[in-house]
Structure 1
């Protein structure tokens, strides 16, 4: 494990009563890397993201984001950007008002906030619509507004939960291009999605969660090449295999991630 990795977990676990939602999760994400986080519904992806973004506390184990322990909420929140699947934006506000509101919550100086908002609106092709109410925005425009507000304070680490879900092809392409640009600029991106082609296109590495355990991890290329047989496969086939070959409760600690090259 790398001590200064922007995202790092060691035996991270979350229990809700008798239910273990995430079990002994250990992995790291390097600086400037897009990490694709996959798993079926109920696998524990949302719980993992909630722990990493300080929205819920781990039951045991440890995690660090941008060098800070996730138990130090103020320090972590200052350094991360988070775009949930249902972003907190207000239809009655204009796009500019929404971003000014978030900048105020972040305590950004007025001059700096104005410059940053102006620059990001232009970059995301929203400048012409910035003073229209968000209620008039398309799904893609709302997604771009949510992504801008996650970037206003120039975070070190960006968490994205289904950022292209429900978008038309053109809007989805815009968001994917923006993620690629952010990676090229050195930002670390944690990308949770069900859309496998997005992961294949964008991710430097992939982690597959099943029943709260990390059952496969590696580059998209390594995960689509069976180490023992040399047979090429699609990421979809790999995903279906590793999330079905270990029924709940049958993955031992020594078996996790053992089938694929990392």
Structure 2
């Protein structure tokens, strides 16, 4: 078991948006949260990541309960629903910056990022600044940046927003 969520509930100003959610994610599984807008998907994700406080429930990562985001740091990669970049850096600079934080072996990092850039057909955007990118290309950059991290679980909120069918596949 990689992640277990037990009896998770969350309210905002007395309005319950998450009620008694329970699930387990095993290594190698792909799981999707599906629901209408406002159903609580993002609140569930942010509660799991300890970015917001939940009202009740508990989460365990690799069998251990965790109390704050620092307990799961470098174990869970999060791709938010709104892209976050260093806008004063080019796309390549963003990639290299994240790479230096999460990768000790420069040769392995270079190979990894070049493969991701090829896979996402992103070569032509490397010298651009993030603000110059389309919504879909911003999303590609977020996925590339997230994939450069060494993690055991990736949580992505609205990961396919702006992507064409080829890139989604």
TM-score by length of 1: 0.57
Name the residue aligned to 1:150: 146
Conserved? CA contact 2:79–2:142, under 8 Å = yes
Name the residue aligned to 1:58: 54
Cα separation, 2, equivalents of 1:146 and 1:68? 29
Specify whether residues 79 and 67 from structure 1 end up closer, same or farther in structure 2 by C-alpha distance, changes over 3 A only.
Answer: farther
Name the residue aligned to 1:86: 82
2:103 pairs with one of 105, 108, 112: 108
Residue correspondences, number: 168
Cα separation, 2, equivalents of 1:38 and 1:141? 24
Conserved? CA contact 1:51–1:70, under 8 Å = no
The reply on whether 1:173 has 2:133 as its aligned counterpart is no
1:9 pairs with one of 5, 25, 35: 5
Conserved? CA contact 2:102–2:149, under 8 Å = no
Once the two structures are TM-superposed, the CA of residue 129 in structure 1 deviates from its matched residue by: 2.7
Bigger Cα Rg:
1
SS at match of 2:37: coil
Q: Which runs of 5+ in 1 are unaligned?
A: 178-262
Cα RMSD of the aligned pairs, angstroms, is 2.3
Specify whether residues 156 and 107 from structure 1 end up closer, same or farther in structure 2 by C-alpha distance, changes over 3 A only.
Answer: closer
Specify whether residues 16 and 107 from structure 1 end up closer, same or farther in structure 2 by C-alpha distance, changes over 3 A only.
Answer: same
Specify whether residues 8 and 85 from structure 1 end up closer, same or farther in structure 2 by C-alpha distance, changes over 3 A only.
Answer: same
Counterpart mapping for 1:1-262 below 5 A: 4=1, 6-104=2-100, 106-109=101-104, 111=106, 112-167=108-163, 171-174=164-167, 176-177=168-169
TM-score by length of 2: 0.83
Conserved? CA contact 1:68–1:76, under 8 Å = no
Q: Which runs of 5+ in 2 are unaligned?
A: none
